[in-house]
Amino acid sequence: MDRIRIRGGNTLNGTIHISGAKNAALPLMIASLLTDETLTLHRVPRLADVRLLQRILQNHGVDITIAGKRAGQNGHDGETMRISAKTIADTTAPYELVSKMRASFWVLAPLLARCGEARVSLPGGCAIGTRPVDLHILAMEKLGVQISIDGGYVVAKAPKGFTGGHINFPKVSVGATHAALMGAVTAKGDTLIENAAREPEITDVAECLVKMGAKIDGIGSATIRIAGVPRLHGAEHSVIADRIEAGTYAMAAAMTGGTVTLAGARLDTLDEVMNIMRTSGVDIEAANDGLKIKRNGAGLSAIKVDTEPYPGFPTDLQAQLMALTTRAKGTSIIRETIFENRFMHVQELARFGADIQLHGDTAEIRGVERLTGAQVMATDLRASVSLVIAALAADGETTLHRVYHLDRGFETLEDKLKACGADIERLSGH
């Protein structure tokens, strides 16, 4: 099993190219099931989760080819993927695949749209909380689908297709909003979605669906109106820049000092993150090709933040922000309002010498003068990269175990950090 070794203390200087967003690439790949024509996606990140979803879609009979590099294309531009679901061979998504990645549950709506039936395994628990699928099922039922649960599988039937409906989500859900969109675009009649999630990745998917022939109003807002069309066609689309990756490297730069340009990062998707970082004492300015991050000479200041659905501070950057605050002057307060188990990185950060107290859904972080390298273990995707951030600023050497979590969501992380001066390497084997 691979490990990552980091010798801390180096400032980061240079340019990091931001990859396409994992949280947009996965639902975009799933949207290919909605048409029998080819969907071409550019800037698909090379990630373990993307590879797994490829296998899941191929299990349904989808043909996927990875195109060669275009002229002038660099490694950080991701891959061009041509996805053709001309014929769907199987409408069952088995437990052994869905259990490995929750996003694969989202095949439910497009399989129903194309075939009138689907049998999709319940995804089960998750390391960062229960994350139930009840809102997905609510959305499907509001669109006229008959749902039953049988042996751990959602069995869904819509023999005459979806019918338009009114979906008012009792709470904001990214996954359920994706499901509602994918169900409504080919429904008979109009659909109104209220209290929809507003994440930029949902906007990206909706804009791709429009290119495929969908009629959607209110993209990017909490109220979305869809006029159903009989069928969708193929399209070409480039995946949005990954705001979580951009925020992560911004915090790494702020933690170590130095100046880093985040090429391709979009400030309009990071407003609240940048506001919090500026409060902490980080200088951020728009650059021609992205964002420039540098820490001012005064060091880091304590902050107070709650995680919230977009446009609030994202839960996917909570662990990284906590790593940053371990060296801030004063006491920082971070409240996690989205997932109930998303503080598993706290005990690992403590191994560096961080001073963190937990009070239910709230972490109290007292800044310390120095962190010391340690043997640490990744517990989930975002937690694992918070340990990298701490290690970059720690005295001495850190070894991070279970790095397969990192590979799920960060493309060529070691290469990107090494190019900016980090002393980091991947060690293979035991």
What is the set of active-site residues? Answer: 126
For residue 357 the two structure tokens come to 């107290």
- Amino acid letter, 137: I
Report how far residue 35's alpha carbon sits from residue 114's, in angstroms, rounded to the nearest whole number.
8
**Which contiguous run of DSSP H or E holds residue 359?**
strand 355-359
Q: Does residue 45 have a cis bond before it (omega within 30 degrees)?
A: no
Burial 5-27 (b: 16+ CB within 10 A, else e): bbbbebbbbbbbbbbbbbbbbbb
**Which contiguous run of DSSP H or E holds residue 261?**
strand 259-263
Which candidate, 180, 162, 184, places its Cα nearest to that of 172?
Answer: 180
Phi/psi-derived region of residue 171, left when phi > 0, alpha when psi is between -120 and 50, beta in every other case: beta
Q: 193 and 223 in contact (C-beta within 8 Å)?
A: yes
- Amino acid letter, 197: A
- Amino acid letter, 30: I
Helix 243-256 with 318-325: angle, nearest 10 deg: 10
Q: Which residue has the tokens 């994350």?
A: 131
Report how far residue 206's alpha carbon sits from residue 336's, in angstroms, rounded to the nearest whole number.
28
Report how far residue 299's alpha carbon sits from residue 327's, in angstroms, rounded to the nearest whole number.
9
**Which contiguous run of DSSP H or E holds residue 287?**
strand 282-287
**In sequence order, which residues have a C-beta less than 8 Å from that of residue 191 and are 6 or more positions away?**
143, 164, 165, 166, 167, 180, 183, 184, 225, 226, 228
**In sequence order, which residues have a C-beta less than 8 Å from that of residue 288 and are 6 or more positions away?**
none
Report how far residue 350's alpha carbon sits from residue 131's, in angstroms, rounded to the nearest whole number.
27
CA distances from 393 to 77, 152, 177, 409 (A): 29, 45, 39, 22
Which candidate, 41, 49, 88, 86, places its Cα nearest to that of 66?
Answer: 41
For residue 83 the two structure tokens come to 């996805």
| Range list of H helices, 214-261 | 243-256
